[in-house]
Structure 1
Amino acid sequence: MITEYENKDLFNRLSTMPEKGKRGPKKKLTPEQEKMAVEFYTKGKYSFAGIGAVLGVSDETIRRAVLEHMNKLNK
């Protein structure tokens, strides 16, 4: 059974944690980095994660940039 003290302690620790989904602004790629990412990915030698690690952004940021580029080409 959890005591009132343990319950307050747990609540205090949880209240200092960042809220879910509030992790700060997304890092953006410069136009030059975007071009580089697209070139590296389309060569087929590099993964989204690998390119993201080199450029200091997430693999999702790279995936989004590549897909946006591909969508522009298809229009």
Structure 2
Amino acid sequence: MRRAFATANAESMNLFALQSLMQHKSLETTKGYVNMARQLNRPVQNLFVPTLRRRGDGNDSDVTGEKQRLAK
């Protein structure tokens, strides 16, 4: 849970605020979580997922050849 929290907030939150919320005494401990989060996010930023073609009835059909970028 702690790693997931740090990963989800590492890019959008001030390092000192994250340290406080995670109740770390040392900023170095928080930096470790943030560095890990950044390493994990790199592959995700380049990840592509196929999109599903929607049928008229609202149900998903087969996968199209199009891909959708997940990251910013």
Q: What TM-score do the two structures reach when normalised by structure 2?
A: 0.44
Select the structure of larger CA radius of gyration.
Answer: 1
**What TM-score results when the alignment is normalised by the length of structure 1?**
0.43
Q: More strand by proportion, 1 or 2?
A: 2
User: By percentage of residues, which structure has more helix?
Assistant: 1
